[in-house]
A and B are shown apart, each in its own frame.
Chain A
């Protein structure tokens, strides 16, 4: 089944403790991206990647890192999480017809 898989689904952590949210797609898509979704602010793009080893900042990249060492994986790294990064995170990949496939989301709480 074609899908974008992100883990974990729920994560509670404390300020300053490094964490990684994994994202993997099995559709051989070149383009992948990360979004955060907050009430009243909608979906905002954090980082995107057009291909292996090619990444670029979205609208809200501060406090996040990404890497794209393989086509299928695009992890999101929070080196020193802060409470304002409490949010619902989505990973997505895009096919050649512009269709975005989203993962099921990661609800992150930073205490």
Chain B
């Protein structure tokens, strides 16, 4: 079983839809969770960062972590064509660990 599983998509939604992107993981040592957005031919950029179970909201984006189920999600409300990108989840274990483990990314297209 891979450490981090992420559905690669592609996922195509109409503008204004609510999008749910998900990752599961097997390593219970993971404590810090991130979502990155990567536009075509660009480097990834950090969207959300969280370290506790529950929800964290930032504008139209909500990151959700369920450590008991080893499951994280990113919700995008009122999706826009500019949200079309590949979304990567990433995680690492506790203090002193510097290695990030990335999911393979989900490619999202928001159709006007």
Give the B-binding residues of A (Cβ under 8 A).
Answer: 4, 31, 40-45, 48, 50, 56, 58-59, 90, 92, 97-100, 102-105
Please tell me which one of the listed residues B46, B98, B104 contacts residue A42 in the complex, with CB atoms under 8 A apart.
B104
Give the A-binding residues of B (Cβ under 8 A).
Answer: 6, 8, 32, 34, 36, 41-46, 49, 88, 98-100, 102-105
- Is B43's CB under 8 angstroms from A103's CB? yes
- Is A42's CB under 8 angstroms from B44's CB? no
A residues less than 8 Å from B44 (CB atoms): 43, 90, 100, 102
Please tell me which one of the listed residues B6, B8, B41, B43 contacts residue A102 in the complex, with CB atoms under 8 A apart.
B43
What would 9 more interface pairs be, CB under 8 Å, given A40-B8, A100-B36, A105-B42? A4-B43, A31-B98, A43-B105, A56-B98, A90-B43, A92-B43, A100-B46, A103-B43, A104-B41
- Is B99's CB under 8 angstroms from A48's CB? yes
- Is B46's CB under 8 angstroms from A99's CB? yes
Q: Separation in Å of the B64 CB from the closest CB of chain A?
A: 19
- Is B88's CB under 8 angstroms from A43's CB? yes
- Is A98's CB under 8 angstroms from B49's CB? yes
**Contact of A50 with B46 at beta-carbon distance under 8 Å, contacts A41-B104, A42-B105 already known:** no
Q: Separation in Å of the B16 CB from the closest CB of chain A?
A: 29
